[in-house]
Amino acid sequence: MKPVIGIIAACTREVHPAYTTGHDYVRAVERAGGLALLLPATPDAVSAGMAQWLALCGGFVLPGGGDVAPTYYGQSPVPQLTSTDRLRDNVELTLCRAAAQHKKPLLGICRGAQVLNVAFGGTLWQDIPAQCRAAICHYQDSAARGELFHSLTLAPDSLLARIMGPGQHECNTFHHQAVRDVAPGFAAAAHAPDGLVEAVESADGLALGVQWHPENLAPEHPDHAAIFTWLVDAAAGGALLKR
Ligand SMILES: [Mn+2]
């Protein structure tokens, strides 16, 4: 049996709403040896569903998406805030805390990294261009999703450095928000050249949030594919990174 990795599927806001998640998240989990299971972010998920999700899944992916409602980290919205979805926020914030309680590994990607940080008491920059004057470009309109765009400095003793390997790394970038205050019990595991936090990880090594999109890079870049291998191995109950 393959380890089951639950991936949150959010509801689109179209005439015919659909629960969707990105193709590349699913394929990256499958390529790493996991069985991907889409979990729709419904109101029932918060109440009745969450316990069964935890029983069904060995680990979870929180994918990219819109902005977390700033009320969840004690702020009022800035004018540059874009699409928010309180139901999705609620489902994902609840899942973060439940997964931690049940010692299930969780990978937050882009919005997911922000959700993870907020779930445990951290805060966000609501809009990098408006709030961080010295910031580099964190939205690569000019480059394909699978293309590397800015460099990363990994914290030397971090879980992420053990996952991705020593030395220089680069990533893609599609975010206008970022982690501001790192949540208690978490540490910054990677920074961009402008000093913005690009990854957070929990002290127990079971929750990792990356601000970039490793699922788009995994096919061609083993250091990014390794992030999904970590998740699937941890979901299988294997000792973390016996290397
Ligand atoms: Mn970035």
- Report if residue 240 sits inside a domain: no
CATH of residue 201's domain is 3.40.50.880
pLDDT at 238: 63
Tell me the catalytic residues: 110, 213, 215
Range of the domain at 15: 4-235
Average pLDDT, the chain: 95
| Ligand 1 centroid – CA 237 distance (Å) | 31
Q: pLDDT tens across 142-156, in order? A: 899 999 999 999 999
pLDDT at 36: 98
pTM, whole model, 2 decimals? 0.96
| Ligand 1 centroid – CA 170 distance (Å) | 10
| Ligand 1 centroid – CA 54 distance (Å) | 31
38-45 mean pLDDT:
96
- Report if residue 168 sits inside a domain: yes
Q: pLDDT tens across 46-94, in order? A: 988 899 999 999 999 999 999 999 999 999 999 999 999 999 999 999 9
Residue 80, class by beta-carbon neighbours within 10 Å (0-12 exposed, 13-18 middle, 19+ buried)?
A: middle
**Domain count of the chain?**
1
- Report if residue 62 sits inside a domain: yes
- Report if residue 243 sits inside a domain: no
- Report if residue 241 sits inside a domain: no
| Ligand 1 centroid – CA 198 distance (Å) | 6
pLDDT at 157 over 50: yes
- Report if residue 41 sits inside a domain: yes
